[in-house]
Structures are given as C-alpha cells and as structure tokens.
Structure 1
Amino acid sequence: MSRKPVVALVGRPNVGKSTLFNRLTKSRDAIVADYPGLTRDRQYGTGKVGKYPYIVVDTGGLSGEEAGVNPLMEQQVIAALEEADVILFLVDGQAGLTPADEQIAAMLRQKFAHKPIYVLVNKAEGRDPDVVKAEFYQLGLGEPLVISAEHGDHVREAIDYILEIVAPKADEDEAPEPDDDSGIRVAVVGRPNVGKSTLINRMIGEERVVAYDMPGTTRDSIRVPFERDGVKYTLIDTAGVRRRKKVYDKIEKFSVIKAIEAMDQAHVVVLVIDGSEGITDQDQTLLGHALESGRGLIIAINKWDNLDPDQRRQVKADLDLKLQFADFAPRHFISALHGTGVGNLFDMIRQVYKAATTRVSTSELNRVLQQALLEHQPPMVSGRRIKMRYAHLGGINPPTVVIHGNMVDRVPQHYTRYLTNVFRKAFGWEGTPVKIEYRVTDNPFEGKRTKLSERQIRRKRKLMAFVKQKKKALQRKKRGK
C-alpha cells in the first residue's frame, strides 16, 4: 500500500499558509485572519486538491529573527519539516522579498537541503507572474511557483507539478501491503495513556504490547495478528497522539502521521477515549481524521469502572453534545484493565466490518431510492425539480452510492443527509460512514439544433409569410386611422 507523501507548509507569519491549507484540504480547519502568528500548533489534514493523495501539515509562522522566535513555535515548525517529504516555502508576492524570507531560506538550505523545497509566491492575483516571482529567484531554491491561495489561482497546477515528482519517491518507501490472510484489520487509535495497549493485551489475552502508565510508551505502529472464535484479526496499535506543543522526542513526532496511515490500512477503527478525562479537543480532531479515512468506526470509552453514576451521566451527555457529527458510530463502554465489556467489542467489530464491506445490488438500491423520493421529494432549484434517475454502488468500506440524474450537483446538504439516513437504515450500514456521490446525466441534445424535414421547412416558410402579411395589414390600418 503506497504511503501518502507528507507536505509541510512553512513561511513567515501572515503569508497565507493557513489559507492554502484550507484550500488544499477543502476545509476550514485552520483559523484564518489578517493577524500574524495566529497558527501556533501543527495542523494536519488530508489533501484533496491534485491527482495524488497526500497529507498536509500547516505550521506556525517563523519571523526569521533568532532572538524573537517563540521556542515552542520554532520547535513545532522544525518537527513538521523533519517529518515532511516535501517542503513548500510560502512568500508574500505583494510585500515582496524580505530579510525574514532570506533568513528562513538560509535555514532551509542548511538543515533540509536533502529534501525537495519549492518556493510558492502567494497573493499574486491579478498581477504578471513573471514580474511577481522575479525577485524570489535570489533565494536560491529553484524556480518560484506563483499562486493565489485565497482565490485558488494556479494552486492545482502547482500541487500536481510538485506531487508528480514527490509521489513516486514516497512510493519507494511505501508501507507494507496488508496480507490478504490478515483477516479483519483493526486500528486502535487515541491520545497517549488512554489505554490502547492495555486494551489490545486484554483482547488477545496476553502481554504482546508494552503497556506502562506513562504517555508515549508505544513509539510506533505495532501489528498483532491473532485468531478468536475462528475469525482472524490484525490489531494495529498506534503511538498516542499527544498535544503537539508537548512533543519533544523525535520518535513521537510521527504519531499523527502514523495514526492516519494506520486508519487508511484498517477495515475498522476503534477510537479509545479516556472516560475519566471526558471528551477533549484532540479526541474530536482524531475522530475527524477517522471520518476522513472512511473506515468503519467504533468509539470505545475506557476506564468506565472508575466513574461514579453522576460522572457517567456527564460523560454520556458530553458524547451526545460533542460527537454529533459521528452519531452513526456505536459507543462501547469498557474497562481495558479489568476486561469489562471487552469481549462484546469483538461482536461490534464483526458487525461494523460486515456493514462496511457488504455489497448491495443495483435493483435494491434503486428500490430504496425511489421509495425515498416518493416519501420526500427533492427541493425545487431555480423553479425546477431535481430529478434523480437511478443509483448504483460505487464502492465499499465506506459504502458509496452514486446517484445519476438532472441537476443533482445542486442537491442541498440537508437532502443528502436525509438520503444517507434512508440508505443506512435500509441496508444496516451501522458504524460506517456512507458517501453519496452525484453524477449529472449528460443532455444528448445539448448544443445540437433540430434538423427540419422538407415538409416542416415549407410549413415554416408559409407561417413566416403569413405573419409578415398580418404585420403589414396592421401597419396600413394604423396609417389609415
């Protein structure tokens, strides 16, 4: 399985790194404002612009002044650059070349000369590209690429050009292809010290993974193949995703990347949450990555036995409030240390795996679609009704429904959610995301003029002559009055 290349964005503050991050990931995860230094921690996302899949890392801005740089922020940037396959150095085309840009370029040449580095001249909308990029040649990092992150100008072309070179190199260092005989692959992910390794040891019944009451004990993804009740499993234990400002050890800098890669290789993701600490922002961020991977999802709330009834009610209320965007994922309350509820987790994993990988016939899909349309018609758009003609299964894990029709590219989000819930209920797709893709049916008559027969042409001429005579008669009548 090919490893996704990691693309790091670096530059001084307020040059548009977060805007480019949001453009590449098609999200609003990075906060954007006209205020330097807003991004402080590393932000991870899956790239959705370009030919190849990749991971984008947004970093805080470097001022280029050694004395004035926040040590923690600088540490974050260096960590992002060390884990990257390619570095995109953003500069401001409106402000021009600054001494800070030159100092950052010198640092990149000195410490990361072994990695591909590209200069992206941002904020160049409405200007001559050759004029904008001319002064940035003196940075000594090759030919600059001119873009506009805010308006999207030349962003896709630049990313395609860069990944065309970088992606094959990432494939050479590809992740091992999962064995077909590995059974159900389960990725166990979560923050450090939430009990992932303890849970795996409890599930397989032996001490296979080092478990210690110190965050970050597990340093890399560990694969544990085993068999239970005649079913083969491969459990993937990942290094804990810890708060990025607390990452000092080089080995732990790869934790987020490893977690994302483990999710991509798995059939089912088990997100372990520490019930005694409640739902944190990092839990929600990690859940967002799990949803992006499209794999079956189970939320395991660990250390449940340590909570009193009031605390349990509070945790359940937090789950309902903060995890509304993943309401399809089953929640399992366990104690990995004592084994409470762990046995039932296997039943849940098998159910989610079956739901995520079961194929549905085209006739069944269309029957459910037609019934959904009868019960709740698509809304009117510009005075015209959206017509959904037929559907077919586009893929599994996650189940993907492709719907063809007229104007389906203008279906509102609330109606897509309605269809998702209908399909999920009809086919038992519990515990897995359901994707719906729309394909606009081509109009076979678009751009074609109707060819008239000889008879139609004669009738048309007679009609036009009659209309002309009527007009002349009306004009004579008006002049006579």
Structure 2
Amino acid sequence: MYYKPVIVLVGRPNVGKSTLFNRFTKSKDALVANFSGLTRDRIYGDGTFGNHEFIIIDTGGFEPSSKDQMYVKVANQTNQAILEADIVIFLVDGKDGLCSTDYDIANFLRKLSITNILLVVNKSEGKNISAMASEFHELGFGSPFLISASHGDGVGLLIESIFESKLNFIDYKNDDVLQNDNLDRKIRLSIVGQPNVGKSTLINSMLGEERLITFDSPGTTRDSINVDFGFLDRSYVLIDTAGLRRRSRVSDYIEKFSVVKTLQSIEKSNVVLLLLDANIGISDQDARIASYILESGKAIVIAINKWDSISVDSRSTVEKEFKRKLHFLSFANMHFISALRKTNIKRLLFSVNDAYDAAFAKLPTPKVTRALLNAIKQQPPPKKGIFVPKLRYAHQGGHNPPVIVIHGNCLTNIQDSYIRYLESCFRREFKLSGTPLRIEFKSSKNPYV
C-alpha cells in the first residue's frame, strides 16, 4: 500500500519550525488545514523537496512542563500530530544552544516510545560543527542534522536521509505503480467527509451489503483496507479513508476528523467523492479539503447526503447555498442523495465514471487546435497595452488532470478572465465534466513567427 510519509515538526517556541515548514511547502500561505483558533496548534501542508513529496505538520511552540493553559492545549495538539506522523523532526536552536525545555521535550518523546525521531539543529550557519554536534548529543537521539531553515543549508541532506530510510512508504514521484495505476482500468475512489456525514452508510449502499467499515476509528480491526466492487461494466477500488497505519496507541488520542488520513486518501485516488451533510452545510474543514482536492488535480464528485431530511419547501434554497459556497468546483457534478434510502446512488456512480473518463481523456491535437481557433474566432484575446496575444495551436500535455498546452506569441499578457473563457470552451468541446483542467502557455522566442 502506498502513501506519502507524514513528517511533524516539534520543538520549543522560536526554533524555526514555521520557517522550515514554509521552505517545504514553498509558500507562506500554502496551508491545507489551518483550523480556526488552532494557529497555536498544528498546520498541515503539502511538502515537496527535490523529487520527494510528503505531508508536513507544523506544531506550536512546545513546553511540556508548562502549566499555562495555552501551552497545555499546544501540548495536546502536538501529541496528536506526533501520533499521526511517520517521522518526528525534533528541532532545536543552534544559536541559543540547549535549554531545559529541550530536555523536557526529549523526555516527552521518549515516553511515547517513538522510534523515528531525527534531531535537527537549526540556525547552525557559521557555527563550529563538531562542538555543536557534541553539545546536542546529550539529548540522546544520536548525531544531529545541522541545517539553516532560512538559507536552506543541509535541508536537502535531511530529506534524502528520510527517504533513504527503510520505512513503509514510497516516493510518489518515483513510483511507477502509481504513475501507471490507470492501466488496470479500476477506478480508485475515495469518499471523504467529516464524521457522521454518512460515509459508512453510503459504502454499504454501494456494496449492496451490510459491511462494517468504520472510517474514523483508528486502530479498528478490518479485514481489508481497499474494497473492490463493481457497477455495471466498471470496476472500482474503494480507498479506505481511515488511513493505512493501524496503531493501537493512536486510538486513545487521535481526533475523529483526521486531516492526514483525508489527504492520504485523496493522493491515492483517481476520483474523490466529497460527502457533505445537507443539514449542516459546509464547514471550514469541508471548504479546505475541497480546495485541496482542486489543487491536487484529482477528479471530483460532490454528494449532499441526508437530502430526505430536508423539507421540500427548503430544498431549492439549500441547493442554491451549496452551489454558491462551492462555486470554485462548478465543473464537478453535484448530487443530492440519501445513503440510507439508497436514492440517487446510481446517478452518483455514473458521475464518478464520467469524472474518471474526463481525467484520463485523450485529446487529439487537431481537435484541440480546432477548438482553440473556434474559441478565438468567437472571442479574440484582449490586448494588453501594445501587445496582442497570438494563440496559434494547442495540444494535450498530460492527464489526470488534463493539461492543454497553447503555443503562440505574447502569451504572458493573457488575462485570467480569458483563460477561464478558454477553459469553458475546451470543457464544452470535449465534455470534461468532473475534472480540473489546466492550461499552460508557451511563447515563441521569435516575436515575428
């Protein structure tokens, strides 16, 4: 089974955890699940470094021995993040040296019996390496890695060491199995949503049997992580959104709605089914997960469950509200279902098929270019200043999601509104329903060609 490794950053306040987090996510605002009121708790991001991809968790400043209520809450959140992680990066400050809080954190980690702990000394630029290494040896976690999060020194060696370890995870970008996963023609489907939204009920309705699949109870014994099933002439693999690692010690601490599990299930999917509760509406967590699905490029279908519990008079208003809040997913089919009564389940699966087919659609170059020229004929690109963009031809540059590459001149001046117009034209021409569509531009170096 495949999943991105989960790396958590732990350390006392002001040792550079957020700086390292921002370096891994390559953007200060590249946050996946920064829950309201939890900035002092933990922040999830999609990390990349070189050819490696991983989920990175930034935690608040950790002071285990503090009695202050704020730090007690930080300790609880840090504890939960550690229990979700594959690797713990214990970050210390090379400029300030060891302090009592570092020893407290070291003792806390040892009590949890965590084995995959890497001691990392930040702010080590310009320091005596041997003297610094010997000082931090006292913490008892072996030879430390010396880095500078702000300048990037030593960060590459740290990541390479993590991926060279013999842990049970793989590198997504270098994995041929995942890259060619569509070859077996089984649709890898994950159902994501908050607890009690009806995921297990929907799964039982799809499978046609009462099969107990508890998605949000870590450590529960199950006979299968992936579930195979069929509908008409299509085969599916249902991805277990409860995550891949079943650790007995997690069940007592981990929160019911786990962002890490959801992100992992999205990464392993061809199509993501976002399940929402008609009675509750869209929470901040739902909106962030929907945004992450969009950024990941996965095909998506939206299902509003418990529709039978909404009065007939209110349904029109509720439907408009859902569509308004999820306007950025307007390309995705939205279904109003009742998992318990099995209403609209078939239509839901038809949309899953359409989204998968669109994500892996092959777009012939002549047809793509013809669609581009027809779009230009109906509405030419507006010029910006003295520059007039010239779009000459287009071809497909990838799939899952589909990528269309447009060649021409002065393409850097094309406005966002016109890109959205082109996207709608391509979607309409090739019936690309349920999948994100990305458009790339390549300008010729010769302005006269």
TM-score range, shorter chain: 0.7 to 0.9
Residue by residue, what CA displacement relative to the aligned partner does 1:405-437 show, whole Å, maximum 9, x if unpaired?
A: 455456554443333223222211111111223
d(CA) in 2 for partners of 1:365 and 1:198? 42
Instruction: State which of 380, 397, 400 in structure 2 corresponds to 1:397.
Output: 400
Query: Which residue is 2:61 aligned to?
Result: 61
2:135 aligned partner, one-letter code: Q
d(CA) in 2 for partners of 1:146 and 1:25? 16
d(CA) in 2 for partners of 1:145 and 1:407? 42
CA, structure 1 residues 249+29, in 2 after alignment: closer, same or farther (shift >3 Å)? farther
Q: Identical aligned pairs, as a percentage? A: 41
Which protein, 1 or 2, shows the higher relative CO under an 8 Å CA cutoff with sep ≥ 6? 2
Do 2:192 and 2:273's aligned partners in 1 also have CA atoms closer than 8 Å?
A: yes
Following superposition, the deviation at residue 22 of structure 1 comes to 4.2
Following superposition, the deviation at residue 353 of structure 1 comes to 1.6
Following superposition, the deviation at residue 274 of structure 1 comes to 1.0
d(CA) in 2 for partners of 1:402 and 1:181? 27
d(CA) in 2 for partners of 1:207 and 1:91? 50
Query: Which residue is 1:267 aligned to?
Result: 270
Instruction: State which of 256, 260, 265 in structure 1 corresponds to 2:259.
Output: 256
Q: Which stretch of the first structure deviates more once superposed, 39-48 or 329-338?
A: 39-48
Residue by residue, what CA displacement relative to the aligned partner does 1:453-472 show, whole Å, maximum 9, x if unpaired?
A: xxxxxxxxxxxxxxxxxxxx
Query: Which residue is 2:424 aligned to?
Result: 421
Q: Which stretch of the first structure deviates more once superposed, 263-272 or 164-173?
A: 164-173
Give TM-score, length-normalised by structure 2.
Answer: 0.79
1:376 aligned partner, one-letter code: P
Query: Which residue is 1:380 aligned to?
Result: 384
Following superposition, the deviation at residue 159 of structure 1 comes to 4.3
Query: Which residue is 1:43 aligned to?
Result: 43
Following superposition, the deviation at residue 338 of structure 1 comes to 0.7
Query: Which residue is 1:87 aligned to?
Result: 88
Name which one, 1 or 2, has greater alpha-carbon Rg. 1
1:144 aligned partner, one-letter code: L
1:348-359 mapped onto 2 (5 Å cutoff):
348-359=351-362
Query: Which residue is 1:139 aligned to?
Result: 136
d(CA) in 2 for partners of 1:385 and 1:282? 42
Query: Which residue is 2:212 aligned to?
Result: 209
Following superposition, the deviation at residue 9 of structure 1 comes to 1.9
Please give the secondary structure, in 2, of the residue aligned with 1:53: strand
2:46 aligned partner, one-letter code: T
Please give the secondary structure, in 2, of the residue aligned with 1:165: helix
Do 1:19 and 1:30's aligned partners in 2 also have CA atoms closer than 8 Å?
A: no
d(CA) in 2 for partners of 1:21 and 1:409? 31
Following superposition, the deviation at residue 137 of structure 1 comes to 5.9
d(CA) in 2 for partners of 1:50 and 1:443? 32
Following superposition, the deviation at residue 300 of structure 1 comes to 0.4
Following superposition, the deviation at residue 389 of structure 1 comes to 4.5
Do 1:39 and 1:61's aligned partners in 2 also have CA atoms closer than 8 Å?
A: no
Residue by residue, what CA displacement relative to the aligned partner does 1:66-106 show, whole Å, maximum 9, x if unpaired?
A: 43364342122122223323333445677666543453345
CA, structure 1 residues 49+373, in 2 after alignment: closer, same or farther (shift >3 Å)? farther
Following superposition, the deviation at residue 400 of structure 1 comes to 1.4
Following superposition, the deviation at residue 191 of structure 1 comes to 0.8
Query: Which residue is 2:247 aligned to?
Result: none
Please give the secondary structure, in 2, of the residue aligned with 1:288: helix
Q: Which stretch of the first structure deviates more once superposed, 302-311 or 315-324?
A: 315-324
d(CA) in 2 for partners of 1:38 and 1:336? 33
Please give the secondary structure, in 1, of the residue aligned with 2:323: helix
Please give the secondary structure, in 2, of the residue aligned with 1:234: strand
Following superposition, the deviation at residue 331 of structure 1 comes to 0.7
Query: Which residue is 1:194 aligned to?
Result: 197
d(CA) in 1 for partners of 2:417 and 2:287? 23
Query: Which residue is 1:280 aligned to?
Result: 283
Following superposition, the deviation at residue 272 of structure 1 comes to 0.8
Residue by residue, what CA displacement relative to the aligned partner does 1:232-278 show, whole Å, maximum 9, x if unpaired?
A: 222234239xxxxxx96357679433332222222211111111111
CA, structure 1 residues 185+248, in 2 after alignment: closer, same or farther (shift >3 Å)? closer
d(CA) in 1 for partners of 2:406 and 2:441? 5
Do 2:299 and 2:359's aligned partners in 1 also have CA atoms closer than 8 Å?
A: yes
d(CA) in 2 for partners of 1:73 and 1:301? 34
Q: Which stretch of the first structure deviates more once superposed, 434-443 or 342-351?
A: 434-443
CA, structure 1 residues 111+204, in 2 after alignment: closer, same or farther (shift >3 Å)? closer
| Unaligned segments of structure 1, at least 5 residues | 32-36, 241-246, 445-481
Following superposition, the deviation at residue 143 of structure 1 comes to 3.4
Please give the secondary structure, in 2, of the residue aligned with 1:191: coil
CA, structure 1 residues 185+30, in 2 after alignment: closer, same or farther (shift >3 Å)? closer
2:290 aligned partner, one-letter code: L
Residue by residue, what CA displacement relative to the aligned partner does 1:311-346 show, whole Å, maximum 9, x if unpaired?
A: 434432331332222221111000000111112212
Following superposition, the deviation at residue 209 of structure 1 comes to 3.0
Residue by residue, what CA displacement relative to the aligned partner does 1:258-307 show, whole Å, maximum 9, x if unpaired?
A: 33222222221111111111111121122123223322101100000011
1:160 aligned partner, one-letter code: G
Q: Which structure has the highest helix share of the two? A: 1
Q: CA RMSD in A?
A: 3.7
d(CA) in 1 for partners of 2:393 and 2:100? 59
1:4-23 mapped onto 2 (5 Å cutoff):
4-23=4-23
Give TM-score, length-normalised by structure 1.
Answer: 0.75
1:216-365 mapped onto 2 (5 Å cutoff):
216=217, 219=220, 222-239=225-242, 249-250=252-253, 255-365=258-368
2:45 aligned partner, one-letter code: G
d(CA) in 1 for partners of 2:320 and 2:335? 15
Following superposition, the deviation at residue 38 of structure 1 comes to 6.5
2:162 aligned partner, one-letter code: V
Following superposition, the deviation at residue 310 of structure 1 comes to 5.0
d(CA) in 1 for partners of 2:350 and 2:237? 15
Do 2:10 and 2:88's aligned partners in 1 also have CA atoms closer than 8 Å?
A: yes
Correspondence 1:184 to 2:187? yes
Query: Which residue is 1:75 aligned to?
Result: 76
d(CA) in 2 for partners of 1:394 and 1:418? 19
Query: Which residue is 1:469 aligned to?
Result: none
d(CA) in 2 for partners of 1:369 and 1:412? 16
Count the aligned residue pairs. 421
2:311 aligned partner, one-letter code: D
